[in-house]
Chain A
Amino acid sequence: MLVLSRKINQSIMIGDDVRIVIVAVDRDQVKLGIEAPRAVPVHRSEVYEEIRRANQEALGAAPAAAGKAEKATLKPRK
């Protein structure tokens, strides 16, 4: 892992279009500002981890044999 030291209001560029600014530091908490293109999702890692676990759980609970299936027709919300 790359480790960089930054001061308040200094920033880090990731690639050409993601910028992370150190906004504030208070004891063990750091406030970050993130500038990223609209197509780039930004999440707290815990959220991603929670969804990852939820997906794994859905797979784990799914029955091993379900029966004959047909292709589903997907529709927009009415």
Chain B
Amino acid sequence: MQLAESYMEETAITVELPRFGSCSFTPSEVVEFPWGLPGFPSLRNWLPLNLESHPSFVWLQSLDDHSVALPSIDPWLVFEDYDPKLPAYAFTSLEIREAGDFATLCVVVVTPNAEEMTINLMAPVVINLRTKKARQIMLDGSSYSSREPIPRKRPSKVPASSKSA
């Protein structure tokens, strides 16, 4: 049993990250941005990480340049009514077929005093959970801001509301 498992297991890769220290991952955990991200066009391979101290943030850690990590958050944790109308190219290029196929994250600017924290609602990162391919989608012509201030007083968890997805 043990032998079979270790045979099937992917090779774990360990990297030393300036922000997070030592980290092991397997290739199937890597999220690929085939088109890069605006500002980081050549960084294709990223690893989503959580800090124990702030579990609601997802850090997108570049595996191509270890000095690059972008903090992000599930936008609905902050703005329940967020309604990104994803353009057709998002679904086509990421081969997304249904709603359960993908996760959405928005990059945040974390300043030392959390009062000024902003979230980029104009360009959500969409990740196909099946293929692990992702892309930052620009909501051209939407009214969402790339620097929306995150309200300081926000519920620690999203209250159960009548609004459904």
Contacts and interface: CB of A to CB of B under 8 A. Distances in A.
B and A form one assembly = yes
A76 interface: yes
Given A54-B109, A61-B111, A72 B50 contact: yes
A69 B88 contact: no
Given A39-B89, A57-B109, A71 B48 contact: yes
B120 A51 contact: yes
25 contacts: A38-B89, A39-B92, A40-B89, A50-B122, A51-B38, A52-B39, A54-B123, A54-B147, A55-B70, A55-B107, A62-B19, A62-B110, A65-B18, A67-B20, A67-B53, A69-B17, A69-B21, A69-B51, A69-B52, A71-B25, A71-B49, A74-B103, A74-B129, A76-B99, A76-B101
Contact of A56 (B39, B92, B111): B39
A64 interface: yes
Interface of B: 17-21, 23, 25, 29, 37-40, 47-53, 58-59, 61, 68-71, 74, 76, 87-89, 92-93, 99-105, 107-112, 120, 122-123, 127, 129, 136-138, 140, 146-147, 165
Nearest to A55: B39
A75 to B, nearest CB: 6
A53 interface: yes
B109 A39 contact: no
Q: Chain B at the A interface: mostly helix, strand, loop or mixed? A: mixed
Contacts of B51: 66-69
Interface stretch (A4-12, A15-23, A25-33, A41-49): A41-49
- The 8 A-B residue pairs with the shortest CB-CB distance in the complex, in nearest-first order: A69-B20, A52-B38, A55-B39, A69-B49, A72-B48, A74-B103, A52-B39, A39-B92
Q: Chain A at the B interface: mostly helix, strand, loop or mixed? A: loop
B123 A70 contact: no
Nearest to A41: B89
